[in-house]
Each structure stands twice: as structure tokens, then as C-alpha cells.
Amino acid sequence: MWGALLIPIVAWQIVELFTPEEIPDTVADKVILLPDADGSVGEVVVRSATGEQTLSSAYGALEVTASGTLESTTETAASVRAAYGNVLDAQPPEPVSLTVYFEAGSSTELTATSLQTIDRLKAVLADRPAPEILVIGHTDTVGDLEDNDSLSRARAQTVVDVISATGVDAASLEASGRGERELLVPTADKVSEPRNRRVEINIR
């Protein structure tokens, strides 16, 4: 009777002996989804040799083992800051787009509110490393096409002169005029529209 009990135990131990020891499958890589600056959250699809998972919630994370196993984990704003603060602090500033508006027919006279935008432009340029600046002038549909091409270029040049006067060391500064060819507010021909008399300034 005791013999019958013993046999299964021995048999189990033999099986145990012959089971190969598990090869450690350590975490190799990690992916963490962060909320965008505006608070919204996008998606990252992560594919390994053995699977695919989608990250779609803020601070959701995946640990990937050397063999490709994907394991879900969760981080927090604090844990990400602790582990990757030195990376996040080195991120380039967000590209900025500004628009200034001009008085009717003028290539030099800005609207009163646009003077404040010029102050903002100067502030942005003052602490931006190696700024790349693109200036695009526009007109409304008063006047003919060719005159408006010239006027839009002159408006762009006014903004370029303001930028140059700040003494900023730009990595690049490009200007162009689009005349009445890219209306912000679509209108018929010969329509005075303040919102179309503008210069767009894109700073990267």
C-alpha cells in the first residue's frame, strides 16, 4: 500500500528534473504613450515578432521581452518624469504660427491688434534655439492679380524687416507672397476683407 503511494511522487520528481530550466526572458524594450500637450491621447500600435498591441490611454505602457512578448503596464506622470525627465527637458519648443493683419491697401500699416502679435513674435524669437522662419504674405481681392502679388510680397517684407531688426540669429528666414491666391475667407473679386489682408509667420 505504501509502495503504491510512493510511485507517483517519484515519477513527478523525475518529470521535474527533466523539465528544462526556464530561460530568463528579460524586458528588452519599453513603449509609453503620453497625453498630447492639449490633453488628448492618440494611439501607438506596437508589433513584435509574436504579437501586436495598441496603446490608447495616457501613460499606458508596454514592456517587450527579448523574445517579443508584450506585457501591458501603467506609468504615471510622476514615474515618467522620474525616469525620462532628462529626455523630456531636452525637447525642442513647439512650432508656432502667428498671423498679422494689414490696413486696406497698405504694405506697412498693421492693424492695432496685430502690433500686439508683433510683440508676441519678438518674444517667441527671443528664446527659440535656431529658429526656422517662414513668412507668407496675402491680400484681399481688391485690385488686380499682379498688383496683389506685389502687395503681398511687400507685406511679407515688412514682417521680415521687423524680424531682422530684432537681431535674431535665424537658422533660416524665407519669405514669399501669395497675392489673392490663398484667401483665408473666400470672397468674390474686388471685395475688401480684413481677414484676407494678412501675413502668416511660421516659426519652427
Contacting residue, 11, 115, 171, 185, with another protein by CB under 8 A: 171
* CA–CA dist 176, 197 (Å, integer): 14
Total residues binding another protein (CB under 8 A): 44
Window 126-145: residues binding another protein (CB under 8 A)? 129-130, 132
Nearer to another protein, 132 or 147 (CB): 132
- Among the residue ranges 15-23, 39-47, 148-156, 189-197, the one whose residues contact another protein (CB under 8 A): 39-47
Q: What minimum distance in Å lies between the beta carbon of 2 and another protein?
A: 52
The C-alpha cell at 52 is: 501586436
The C-alpha cell at 181 is: 491666391
Residues 6+ apart with CB under 8 A from 152: 137, 138, 139, 177, 178, 179, 180
Residue at grid coordinates 527659440: 128
139, burial (CB in 10 Å: exposed 0-12, middle 13-18, buried 19+):
buried
Nearer to another protein, 20 or 39 (CB): 39
Residues of this chain that interact with another protein (CB under 8 A) are 27-37, 41-49, 55, 63-66, 68, 70, 80, 84, 86-95, 129-130, 132, 171, 204
